[in-house]
């Protein structure tokens, strides 16, 4: 294996990151790897807590892909055991524990999707139930003995919850130790994670040193806000774009992002180079609407192809610039409709994630029937056969009564 130079590797490793810690150790690991012709083992743990990988989830996956392209070995850990505990990082409340059946189902969808990003020939996939499930109570006690309560309370989220007298369950204290133990088992040289994971990644360094291993280096990625421009992109917040969504959905959601998020989305969700991102985000050089369109096309292109990106852009222009309805609409066979209000209809037919989302869309004027806005969430829903229902910016359906 011929590795790129240390300078070239460091350039690619450090770009588009929030932090590399410690950066001098990263360079030493790279130089040693070149000298010994030994690829680094680069770890990323993902907890399958929902079915979709989002653009935000994909940021560390693309950094893992960068390490693969540099000649290193990716170790992707499916946290099927840690997911049942629930990662408390960045949360102000207790995360509900998932069942094994839920986690297994989500894990399979993750495995189906990572092939869009990672190179299979330089990839090792492990489930941390391999080593965590066989642990007995004494093993757990020994692991707990590696960290004090005061150390745990140094975590910002735990500290905030403690000060606010918000409950912290004891099993949440186990999570950083479980994630850190993963690093010991797979002997990781580098671990990737978001800024909310910094504490957990440092625990991995501590546990490796306690086991006489060389401590891993942390490559920390920023957390990018979702389509609402307020919260980090997440499935629970509903402000995400999934990497398996259709080109039209990807493009439309990307076009809805606030202007002040364009630089982050262009930097971390596309392959556009830094110079192009700078030009796109300078309104004196590029009109914001045209800039957002190019960024949206670049996002679609990354997961689909050029033609899909062009078609999605054209469809968007036709639908939203020219206010046209698509030529071919999926049909919703509603049959005889019982006496339902609009919110109940949207919820029953899975057109919204919740009744509260349905009410919000209606109040925002984002639900129309044959072009007429529905303004009252409690309005009786009784459309004629063939009526066109629009929900949000992207969902068009033709209602069939029989």
**Three-state SS for 119?**
coil
Regarding whether 159 and 84 lie in a shared domain, the answer is: yes
DSSP character at residue 94: P
Regarding whether 28 and 149 lie in a shared domain, the answer is: yes
Regarding whether 112 and 56 lie in a shared domain, the answer is: yes
Q: What is the pLDDT of residues 237-258, one digit of tens each?
A: 778 899 999 998 899 889 888 8
| Domain-located, residue 242 | no
Residue range(s) defining the domain that contains residue 273: 247-321
What does the pLDDT read at residue 306? 95
What does the pLDDT read at residue 194? 93
DSSP character at residue 170: H
| Domain-located, residue 354 | yes
What does the pLDDT read at residue 88? 59
Token representation of residue 321:
């610039």
Q: Residue-wise over 172-210: b if at least 16 C-beta within 10 A, else e?
A: bbbbbbbbbbbbbbbebbbbbbbebbbbbbbbbbbbbee
**Are 141 and 147 spatial neighbours (Cβ–Cβ below 8 Å)?**
no
Regarding whether 160 and 115 lie in a shared domain, the answer is: yes
Q: How many domains does the chain have?
A: 3
What does the pLDDT read at residue 252? 86
What does the pLDDT read at residue 354? 82
**Are 188 and 204 spatial neighbours (Cβ–Cβ below 8 Å)?**
yes
Regarding whether 75 and 34 lie in a shared domain, the answer is: yes
What does the pLDDT read at residue 97? 67
Pick from 264, 290, 321: which residue ends a domain?
Answer: 321
Q: What is the pLDDT of residues 122-131, one digit of tens each?
A: 999 999 999 9
Which CATH number goes with the domain that contains 255?
1.10.240.10
| Domain-located, residue 14 | yes
Regarding whether 214 and 261 lie in a shared domain, the answer is: no
What does the pLDDT read at residue 143? 92
Regarding whether 28 and 154 lie in a shared domain, the answer is: yes
Token representation of residue 116:
């869009």
Who contacts 81 (Cβ-Cβ below 8 Å, separation ≥6)? 127, 128, 129, 132, 133, 178
Regarding whether 157 and 135 lie in a shared domain, the answer is: yes
Which CATH number goes with the domain that contains 51?
3.40.50.620
| Domain-located, residue 253 | yes
Regarding whether 291 and 195 lie in a shared domain, the answer is: no
Pick from 303, 321, 339: which residue ends a domain?
Answer: 321
Regarding whether 387 and 255 lie in a shared domain, the answer is: no
Which CATH number goes with the domain that contains 371?
3.10.290.10
Regarding whether 199 and 53 lie in a shared domain, the answer is: yes
**Are 385 and 402 spatial neighbours (Cβ–Cβ below 8 Å)?**
yes
What does the pLDDT read at residue 379? 83
Global pTM reads 0.78
Q: What is the largest CA-CA distance in the chain?
A: 74
| Domain-located, residue 279 | yes
Residue stretches of the chain with pLDDT short of 70: 86-97, 320-330, 334-339, 394, 402
What does the pLDDT read at residue 398? 77
What does the pLDDT read at residue 399? 81
| Domain-located, residue 270 | yes
What does the pLDDT read at residue 96? 61
Regarding whether 53 and 179 lie in a shared domain, the answer is: yes
Give CA–CA dist 317/192, Å, rounded.
38
| Domain-located, residue 239 | no
């Amino acid at each position: 294996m011929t590795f790129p130079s240390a300078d070239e590797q460091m350039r690619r490793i450090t770009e588009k990151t929030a932090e590399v810690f410690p950066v001098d150790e990263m360079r030493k690991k790279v130089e040693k790897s070149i000298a010994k012709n030994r690829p680094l083992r680069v770890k990323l743990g993902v907890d399958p807590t929902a079915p979709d990988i989002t653009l935000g989830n994909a940021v560390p996956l693309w950094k893992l892909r960068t390490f693969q392209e540099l000649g290193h070995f990716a170790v992707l850990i499916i946290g099927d055991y840690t997911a049942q505990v629930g990662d408390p990082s960045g949360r102000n409340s207790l995360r509900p524990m998932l069942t094994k059946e839920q986690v297994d189902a989500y894990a399979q969808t993750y495995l189906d999707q990572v092939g869009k990003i990672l190179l299979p020939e330089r990839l090792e996939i492990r489930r941390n139930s391999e080593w965590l499930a066989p642990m007995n109570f004494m093993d757990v006690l020994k692991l707990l003995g590696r960290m004090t309560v005061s150390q745990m309370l140094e975590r910002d989220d735990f500290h905030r919850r403690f000060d606010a007298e918000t409950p912290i369950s004891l099993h949440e204290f186990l999570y950083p130790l479980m994630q850190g133990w993963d690093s010991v088992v797979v002997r990781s040289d580098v671990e990737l994670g978001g800024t909310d994971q910094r504490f957990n990644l440092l625990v991995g360094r501590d546990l490796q040193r306690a086991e006489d291993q060389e401590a891993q280096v942390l490559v920390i990625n920023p957390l990018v806000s979702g389509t609402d421009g307020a919260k980090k992109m997440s499935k629970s917040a509903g402000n995400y774009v999934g990497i398996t969504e259709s080109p039209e959905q990807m493009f439309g959601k990307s076009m809805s992002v606030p202007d002040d998020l364009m630089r982050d989305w262009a930097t971390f969700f596309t392959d556009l180079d830094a110079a192009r991102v700078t030009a796109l985000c300078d309104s004196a050089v590029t009109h914001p609407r045209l800039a957002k369109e190019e960024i949206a096309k670049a996002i679609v292109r990354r997961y689909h192809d050029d033609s899909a990106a062009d078609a999605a852009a054209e469809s968007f222009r036709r639908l939203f610039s020219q206010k046209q309805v698509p030529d071919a609409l999926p049909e919703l066979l509603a049959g005889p409709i019982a006496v339902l209000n609009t919110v109940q209809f949207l919820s029953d037919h899975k057109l919204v994630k919740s009744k509260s989302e349905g009410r919000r869309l209606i109040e925002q004027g984002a639900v129309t029937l044959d072009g007429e806005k529905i303004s009252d969430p409690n309005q009786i829903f009784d459309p004629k056969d063939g009526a066109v229902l629009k929900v949000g910016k992207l969902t068009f359906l033709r209602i069939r009564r029989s």
